[in-house]
Each structure stands twice: as C-alpha cells, then as structure tokens.
Amino acid sequence: MDRTDTALAEFEPAFAGPADIAAWHMRAIACEAGNAYLKPGEREKLRRILQGTVAPMMAGNLAAMYDLGLEHDRLYRKPLAQFQDLILAPGTRAAVLKSFIEHKLPAGRPDYMKALFIEAAARQLGERWVGDSCDFIDVTIGTARLQDLIQTFAMETRNPVGTTIRPFAALMTPQGEQHTLTTHLLGLLFDTLGWSRTVVDPGPKNAVMLAATVARADVVCIGWSNERLAGEFQHLVSQIRRLSAGRRLPLVVGGAAALKSVDFLVEIGIDCVCDSVYSAARICKSFYDLEELNQQACAPGTPPAGKTDTGKTAIVSSSGIDWLSP
C-alpha cells in the first residue's frame, strides 16, 4: 500500500492498539493465577514494559502518516487546495466550509478526520503566509473562519452530559497567549474520540474553574506558541502542579514555542511534547490506558503509582516517541 494513501487502512486501531491487548492479557494472567491483582514488583515491571515498548508502537505506521499531516495523503491534496481557496475567498461563511468538509472529503472516514483536515488546512495557511502568497489580513480572516468552523463542529460532536465515565482532558494556554486555534482543534479531536474536555482560561478571574478542571482531569494539554510567554507558561505549570498535589497528572505540551524549548520543558518535568494534535491525542490515550492498567494492578488499599512518575519526558513526532531524561 502506498504510504501516503490511507484509503485501505483501518482507522480505529490507531487509537486502540497494543495497550488494549496488554490490558486483556494482564487480566487473563491474573484470572489464571487465581489472583485479581499483580504483585507490586510485577506491577512496576509491567509499567516499564508498557512505557518502553508498547507506547511507541501504539498507533504504528498509520499514526506516523497522520502525524505528518493529511497534506501528504494524495487523496486529500486536491480537497485541501480547494479548501484553501474557500478560506481566503471574500465573503466565505463557516456554513460553506462545513458543507465542503461534510461532502467533498473521501467517504467512509471516521469523524476525527475532520479535525485532522482542518489542522492540515491551518498549517497550509501558515505556510502561505510565510511564503508571502497571502498577507496578514488574509491569515487573520482565514484563522477566524477556521475557529468558527471548529466551534460549529464541536457543538454537534460533543457528547451530552450523562452517567457514562469518559476520559477527561483539560486544555489551556498560558495567560496572554493569542494563538488558540490549535487548542480548540485538539478539543474537537477529543470530542470525536468520545472524550470529555474543557478549554479553560487560566487567568486570575478563573481560579475556581481552573482548580475544578485540574481536579477532574486525567491529562492536561497546554498550547504554547509565543516564546515571550515563557514566564507565564512556567507559572501555569506551577499552578497545575499545586492544584494536583498528591497525584502525578500528565502534562502534554505543544506549539511553536514548545518545540523550540524542549530542553527547558524537560528540565521542569513536562511529560510529553507533541508536534500535532493527532500526536497529542494519541499520547493522551496512552497515558490514560497506562493509568487504567495501573489501577487494575493495584491491590485494595494500595494507592496507584503515578502514571508518569519516571522522571522522563516524551517527544512525540512522526518519527515515533522518544523518552528523554532531565
């Protein structure tokens, strides 16, 4: 199969792979042994195996292709070019962009492909600006249209509040960050994957909401694109750590500034740096699955070990997952 053609690929295994198999296998072993839980030493051994072997394999070659972006899939090149024209055309409304995505993309694809398509379009818009094929006004208007489009899809896609327990992601940016398109795009991707999520402004007026959101979160994703906000970013991380004291809440970071500041992020203990919304969602699922296994393996009365308490930071890109030590 052509590596840039995902038409014949199975999609869901990208988000349900070896980690799920490992969980089933662990439960089978426990049943055969007549014991519902693993011993502490065995539990830690399982965690090391998952972090060192299973996590890098989770989404396989399909994930690598999605990490690269849909602009590298030949089936999406023409739709992306047409979509770019629509984004920049005078008077284009969000309804027109929405109709294009619903009717002009390859059929039979899962809902999360819509989010990946918008991400590719936003990336191409930025490349056109850098290449001087469109000006700042075009980029500003185009970005606003994409933001409206994301909100429209999110309103239709988000699961209603109910009794079903779903993973919960807290999404935020440092105070003063103006580039929030990717944060909302990641929120849409989580919607299509069946997660619960909230985008929260960490400003002083929202202290109560920030505390409630962090208390509920399984993972926290921070978008950071402006390098001048390094102080605000570090303050936000400190706030999250204080509010989540007593548990090791995974912190996943992405954005232009994050990719330029990997050493800094490793030093302050960030768990993962991602270069795409797909990478972020994939690693968040990995962290969540690992915690699920950890919870199952803990004996009654024994608090679960921190799911990322290894002193390592992961950098997720199209080439795979690299585990770094501070």
Are the beta carbons of 173 and 223 closer than 8 angstroms?
yes
Q: How confident is the model at residue 136, as a pLDDT?
A: 84
- Residue 282 exposed, middle or buried by CB count within 10 Å (0-12, 13-18, 19+): buried
Lowest-pLDDT range, 21-30, 253-262, 281-290, 310-319?
21-30
| Mean model confidence pLDDT for the chain | 76
Q: Go through the chain and tell me how many residues it has.
A: 326
As a whole number, mean pLDDT of residues 175-202 equals 91
CA distances from 214 to 92, 131, 166, 175, 247 (A): 38, 40, 15, 16, 11
C-alpha 150/C-alpha 265 separation (Å) is 29
Query: What average pLDDT does the segment 179-193 reach?
Result: 92
Which 3 state secondary structure label does DSSP give 253? strand
CA–CA separation, 323 vs 258, rounded Å?
Answer: 16
Q: Please give the model's pTM, rounded to 2 decimal places.
A: 0.72
Give the rounded percent of residues in the chain with a pLDDT score beyond 70: 67
Under the banding of pLDDT at 50, 70 and 90, the label for residue 239 is very high
Residue 8 — left, alpha, or beta (φ > 0 → left; ψ -120 to 50 → alpha)? alpha
How many angstroms separate the CA atoms of 187 and 158, rounded? Answer: 9
